[in-house]
Structure 1
Amino acid sequence: MSRPDPRLAALWVASLALVLFCGALGRDRLDAFVAATPLPVLAVPVGAEVLARDGSLLRAFQVGDGRWRLDPGAVDPLFVDLLLMWEDARFRAHGGVDARAVLRAGVQAVRGGHVVSGASTLTMQVARLLEDGTTGTWAGKGRQVRLALALERRLGKDAILNLYLRRAPYGGNIEGVRAASLTWFGKDPRRLTPAEAALLVALPQAPEARRPDRFPAAARAARDRVLRRAAATGVLTAQAATAAMGEPLPTLRRPFPALAPLLAARLHRSLPGALRIETTIDAALQRRAEALAAQAVDRRGGALSAAIVVADIHSGAIRASVGTAAWTDTGRAGFVDMTLVLRSPGSTLKPFVYGLAFDDGLAHPETLIEDRPTVFGTWQPQNFDNMFRGTLSIRRALILSLNIPVVRVAAALGPARIVQALARAGVPLVVPQGAPGLAVVLGGAGVTLQDLAQAYAALARGGQGVKLSALPGQGASTGVAMFGPVAAWQVGHILSQLPPPPGARGGRIAYKTGTSYGNRDALAVGFDGAHVAAVWLGRPDGTPVPGAFGGDLAAPVLFDIFAALPDVPLAPPPPGTLTVANAALPAALRRFVPAGEVSAPAAAPLDPLRVIYPPDGAEIAAPDLQVPVKLRGGVPPYTILVNGAPGARGAEVLLPGPGFAQVTVVDAAGASASVQINLRP
């Protein structure tokens, strides 16, 4: 038989003596002794949490010393039952020190020379955790006893238990049952299996030596000891305990949730001191949007990033906010929230120009407008493909996203009017150089993706402005109309007729794409009867991305977003909407004629404009690079273009060199005809 350790025995005898001495002091003197106990800081700091609309965790933040420590919240009652069974069965009965347990442990230690059973109560453990104290000295144990008695007097059982649930060590920088449950099981501790609860009970006794990712055998043995005692004491049935012992242990330390990480960080900074930040984010939709953003950039590689905003058009509540495709990737500037960065909107502002014109009575979707070479001051805009379509309806011009017709309408409205209308609806445009010019309607201004989504939300709401926000109750109508409901519906109806990306269903949403100058930004924005969504792809540093177009890159992501949302039809036309063909329109609306221009008389139909020579597809030998052009029909004078640029010398065109060339003729009425030829030297 081994000899008793005199130091260990002395420690337990001293503890027992202290308890007996305190009892001998008498009730009054004991009360005074406990009341005079200096207490440590009882407020245990916990990290701030940003929550989804359903209360699930989007992102948590560490406390000041870098530890993961969270408010425990709701904890599975089984965990509490197992904890008290294992650590302090008489927790609800004693006053901080369990005299029975001290007497029993002291006698056993003296007789056996080693610790047979512990006497430290849960309250004493909390006292040690609050002071980061030791228990290996008489002074440490004495201080722990006195503090435990004081805690019981001043806090009560539930508060003491809550302190343990916050401060219990689980290895490394993990403290508290909630942080531990998220780390090892990836979920909150409100619902735990018996095996999970038993592991969380066993870990604090030796948090480093029992880590299941490093020492699985020790972790399993400790967990199973808890389960066996639970079966012996009736906390669990023998069958439940046996089944729990068969469950596998977690093998990896899980990362803490990080949904909407940039939004969460922004809210955390803007609300200092707030420990619980509720949002309107839909966790499932946010997860889907982040996956779509990552997939979109992975297909392209490089330093491409993406951003997405999804919101409820009625309440203004943001349901998903993706600021980057990879928030930990510094190569993609993942730390930059691209939903709030000023970027060119490309062609996405064109619908608002037409909406203002419809509202002012200047035009109708079926109004005819000219798409032909036009100079505005010193600026001669070109269409994206350097082609001209002649006379066509505004509906068709918007569907094709033609530049010249929208600039003609913008010139009639005035760029300042357009900028002011957007600003009134809560969508400020940042113009780089002083007063806005006509180029703003083609993307010559800065706007954030969230504000762009806000503009389209107003369009979906019949022209009524709305403020988007991720904070509950902060999104709301601005009370300011961008334009009337009829104009808003007319624009939305046109946008619903845009062809969808390959494989997507058309007609479900109204949407518009945009590509900024130099292919720096690819955009798609759209809405249905309940939601608005905006998608951006590009490089955060503004470097051009060759081949990046809104229709190719951003539109498929936009349609995938709406595929994850309930199908809510677009609104029907409001009362008073004029839905007729061009011939049935009032005479003033049949053709768009800005002030100062004279409309061509409604004469008999002219012969259609045709290029008689060279014939389409001809292969021509012309060493001097000059080819004669012969025309028939149309309204003179004519404008002849080669590959979209002026190239006429009288009745001949000068070609830039051998090879294929596109020759286009536009007459005074805006009609056009084109042929393609192959020039041999």
Structure 2
Amino acid sequence: MRRRFAIISLVIFALAGAAWALDRALPPPMARALAVGGELTDRNGRTLSVLPAAGGVWRLATGVDDVPPHLVAMLVAAEDRRFWHHPGVDPIAMARAAAQWARRGHVVSGGSTLTMQVARLLEPRPRTLRAKAIETLRAIQLEWRYSKREILGLWLTLAPQGGNIEGIRAGSLVWFGRPSRQLDMAEAALLVGLARQPTRSRPDRHPAAARRARDSVLLSRAAPAVSEQDADMALGAPLPLRRQPLPRLAPHLARQLRNGPTTLDAGLQRAVETILTESLATLPDRASIAIMLAETGPRAVRALAGGAWMAQNRAGALDLSAAIRSPGSALKPLLYALAFQEGLVMPATLLSDMPRSFGSYAPENFDHGFAGQITVADALRQSLNLPAVSLLAQLGPVRFAGLLKDAGFSPRLPAGADPSLPLALGGAGFTLRGMLGLYATLADGGRSAPLALRPGPRAQARQVLEPHAAQLVGAILAQPFPAGGPTGIAWKTGTSWGARDAWAMGFDARHVAGVWVGRPDGTPMPGATGARLALPILARVMALVPPAPLAPLQVRAQAAPLAEAPDRLRLLFPPPGAVLEDGADLVIRSAGGQRPLIFMVDGAPIGSEPARREARWQPPGPGHYRITVLDAEGSATGATIRIR
């Protein structure tokens, strides 16, 4: 007796050991279950965008908690009533299937458990007796390795839903356009029934077959979670007749991050993308838009639209929020903040907006005019170039570039180049992401921190500007939008040289936003400005968030002007000795001196506007001419030229 018991024990031990060795040598093929598509979610867990798995299959990881309880109840009732109790194979169902086959000569019911179906989904094979035997062994192996809930999760992930759609979550998005947790009774039944014959029961192609598949599941009322009354009501529900578009919010960020949660807000993201799409009609040909919106304190990006994703001829696949572009005058607020911090000026300090050269560098204002004596606050609001360059000359370009670097967003300069005075007017490269970070520093009282796209711990903010300096800039720039919009927003525009880039940046007490408009290939947009193209978009973006207005700053001139060297009168064009062709108007241009100016040719005045520094002259014919310019203080400059 003992010997027999020992032999039996040895055999059992040997079989168990062999089974363990086979399980380790031939593990279940989990590649298809692991090859799921990408899914980006917002800060509340809502799906922003999905990406296909390898081969273009829409398959998303799905667990029991991702579907409503009534779907699981109907699935078990319709497919495998003893699922929770059998070891992967249901002997009763197998015996019934064999008897039906022997009696009728063909398969009536397959006897497959849900676990066996999972084995077939993991490793598709032709429907043969050999394949059935392998499925049976794999089912036992799966039950050995995984819990019942995990096996259900595999089925919910892999169940065919018609065409290139697999899994309940993907099926719910495609056929009903909403998350699988929100499926009602009829919808859940359709997806369960669709898995039986996904090609023949597709509702968009075979609605009658789809209805029969759904109703068959609804009539399998074995689960207590599905009442007869609920099932009867679901029988009359309409079927979806077409596929719904899959979520494609934040497509550029989805391609960058591919999976997982983000700091974005789905509602704000959708609204920003709508603004972007609607604004394209107002732009020059081939121009695109990038928009960002962030919450200042945590630096959490709430919306990011990197370009016109689906628009024709606008390079929609490029993430233009990361493109390096010239910010034009949009950098000036940081420069003025540094000047306030260093005590160089205050908002009421008077500056001279008059012609001045800095060595060989002679900047001009956008309109080629000059404002004369003006307060620092008004110089910043009006985005005057000469006062900004004058301030940078006194602060030092390296010092200003150091501030930008300390804030975490270094300017991109040409290889081997050092920071120089054109930096005040956007003579360096920045991305929209970088500019948003710089404006967040101003909005947060001079504290710098990186922008966040993922939830989680935040890097500690660093004080790179004194709070009063940042707050003064915000108060100066808090002004109404020209075309209307939310109030209490500090905003600044920028236009790069050659009208290649149009910017509008803004912030209130809680949010910071930025808009870039331009052609992806960097070609000019004649007549484009930040105020005309980008600022109206910024106003619409800032209107999306709850108001948190800043108080504007009212300034009266109080301080004495900064001492600046007078700018001498100069003739810019034509240069001395120039030889020009006859037959066209000649534009005489000057710089410096005190207006009004008088332009003369061979001692005779020519028509000109006293406030302007240029005049047009039509040469009467070939010959030598003497051009002279006089200013209000009697200074004169001139040149002799030849017309041929």
TM-score clears 0.5: yes
What's the offset of the Cα at 1:353?
1.8
Partner residue, 2:5 = none
- Determine if contact 1:641/1:647 at 8 Å carries over to the other structure: no
Identify if the C-alpha distance between structure 1 residues 666 and 106 changes in structure 2 by more than 3 Å, giving closer, same or farther. Answer: farther
Partner residue, 1:603 = none
Identify if the C-alpha distance between structure 1 residues 108 and 559 changes in structure 2 by more than 3 Å, giving closer, same or farther. Answer: same
Distance 1:256 1:277 in 2: 17
Partner residue, 1:567 = 547
Aligned positions, number: 578
Summarize the alignment of residues 206-355 of structure 1 with structure 2, pairs less than 5 Å apart: 206-230=197-221, 235-268=225-258, 276-300=259-283, 302-325=285-308, 327-329=309-311, 331-355=313-337
Summarize the alignment of residues 146-545 of structure 1 with structure 2, pairs less than 5 Å apart: 146-230=137-221, 235-268=225-258, 276-300=259-283, 302-325=285-308, 327-329=309-311, 331-432=313-414, 434-473=417-456, 475-481=458-464, 483-497=465-479, 499-506=480-487, 508-545=488-525
1:639 aligns with 2:595: yes
- Determine if contact 2:411/2:428 at 8 Å carries over to the other structure: yes
Equivalent AA in structure 2 for residue 538 of structure 1: G
Aligned partner (choices 57, 62, 78) of residue 70 of structure 2: 78
Identify if the C-alpha distance between structure 1 residues 200 and 237 changes in structure 2 by more than 3 Å, giving closer, same or farther. Answer: same
Identify if the C-alpha distance between structure 1 residues 561 and 248 changes in structure 2 by more than 3 Å, giving closer, same or farther. Answer: same
Gaps of 5+ in 2: 1-10, 568-584, 587-591, 609-614, 619-628, 634-644
What's the offset of the Cα at 1:474?
6.0
Q: Deviations over 1:451-476 (max 9, x none)?
A: 11111111111222221121223654
Identify if the C-alpha distance between structure 1 residues 210 and 132 changes in structure 2 by more than 3 Å, giving closer, same or farther. Answer: same
- Determine if contact 2:67/2:180 at 8 Å carries over to the other structure: yes
1:60 aligns with 2:50: yes
Q: Deviations over 1:225-272 (max 9, x none)?
A: 222333x7665334322322222222222232221111222224xxxx
Equivalent AA in structure 2 for residue 106 of structure 1: A
Q: Which segment is superposed worse, 403-412 or 564-573?
A: 564-573
What's the offset of the Cα at 1:570?
2.6
Equivalent AA in structure 2 for residue 563 of structure 1: A
Matched residue SS, 1:298: helix
Identify if the C-alpha distance between structure 1 residues 650 and 78 changes in structure 2 by more than 3 Å, giving closer, same or farther. Answer: farther
Matched residue SS, 2:297: coil
Q: Percent identity?
A: 45
What's the offset of the Cα at 1:514?
0.9
Gaps of 5+ in 1: 1-25, 269-275, 574-578, 584-588, 600-624, 627-635, 669-681
Q: Deviations over 1:275-322 (max 9, x none)?
A: x52211111111111111111113336211100111121111111111
What's the offset of the Cα at 1:33?
7.3
Partner residue, 1:51 = 41
- Determine if contact 1:525/1:534 at 8 Å carries over to the other structure: yes
Equivalent AA in structure 2 for residue 299 of structure 1: T
Matched residue SS, 1:320: strand
Q: Which segment is superposed worse, 431-440 or 176-185?
A: 431-440
Partner residue, 1:558 = 538
Distance 2:450 2:293 in 1: 13
1:96 aligns with 2:96: no
Distance 1:478 1:501 in 2: 34
Identify if the C-alpha distance between structure 1 residues 348 and 129 changes in structure 2 by more than 3 Å, giving closer, same or farther. Answer: same
Distance 1:138 1:638 in 2: 101
Q: Which segment is superposed worse, 330-339 or 470-479?
A: 470-479
What's the offset of the Cα at 1:31?
5.6
What's the offset of the Cα at 1:351?
1.5
Partner residue, 1:23 = none
What's the offset of the Cα at 1:532?
0.7
Equivalent AA in structure 2 for residue 40 of structure 1: P
What's the offset of the Cα at 1:666?
7.8
1:108 aligns with 2:90: no
Identify if the C-alpha distance between structure 1 residues 648 and 82 changes in structure 2 by more than 3 Å, giving closer, same or farther. Answer: farther
Q: CA RMSD in A?
A: 3.0
What's the offset of the Cα at 1:638?
3.1
- Determine if contact 1:34/1:146 at 8 Å carries over to the other structure: no
Distance 2:593 2:122 in 1: 91
Q: Which segment is superposed worse, 316-325 or 146-155?
A: 146-155
- Structure 2-normalised TM-score? 0.83
- Determine if contact 2:354/2:386 at 8 Å carries over to the other structure: yes
What's the offset of the Cα at 1:49?
2.4
Equivalent AA in structure 1 for residue 517 of structure 2: L
Equivalent AA in structure 2 for residue 536 of structure 1: W
- Structure 1-normalised TM-score? 0.79
Distance 2:78 2:57 in 1: 26
What's the offset of the Cα at 1:446?
0.8
1:127 aligns with 2:119: yes
Identify if the C-alpha distance between structure 1 residues 650 and 80 changes in structure 2 by more than 3 Å, giving closer, same or farther. Answer: farther
What's the offset of the Cα at 1:527?
0.5
What's the offset of the Cα at 1:572?
9.4
- Determine if contact 1:313/1:532 at 8 Å carries over to the other structure: yes
Identify if the C-alpha distance between structure 1 residues 290 and 303 changes in structure 2 by more than 3 Å, giving closer, same or farther. Answer: same
Partner residue, 1:631 = none
Equivalent AA in structure 1 for residue 95 of structure 2: L
Q: Deviations over 1:555-596 (max 9, x none)?
A: 1111111111011133799xxxxx87433xxxxx421225xx
Matched residue SS, 1:526: strand
Q: Deviations over 1:84-115 (max 9, x none)?
A: 01100111122222122222222233333344
Equivalent AA in structure 1 for residue 274 of structure 2: A
Matched residue SS, 2:449: strand
- Determine if contact 1:468/1:476 at 8 Å carries over to the other structure: no
Distance 2:512 2:223 in 1: 58
- Determine if contact 1:529/1:571 at 8 Å carries over to the other structure: no
- Determine if contact 2:355/2:593 at 8 Å carries over to the other structure: no
Distance 2:443 2:630 in 1: 40
- Determine if contact 1:315/1:477 at 8 Å carries over to the other structure: no
Partner residue, 2:605 = 652
What's the offset of the Cα at 1:211?
1.1
Distance 1:544 1:665 in 2: 36
What's the offset of the Cα at 1:342?
0.8
What's the offset of the Cα at 1:493?
0.9
Identify if the C-alpha distance between structure 1 residues 413 and 649 changes in structure 2 by more than 3 Å, giving closer, same or farther. Answer: farther
Distance 2:368 2:260 in 1: 51
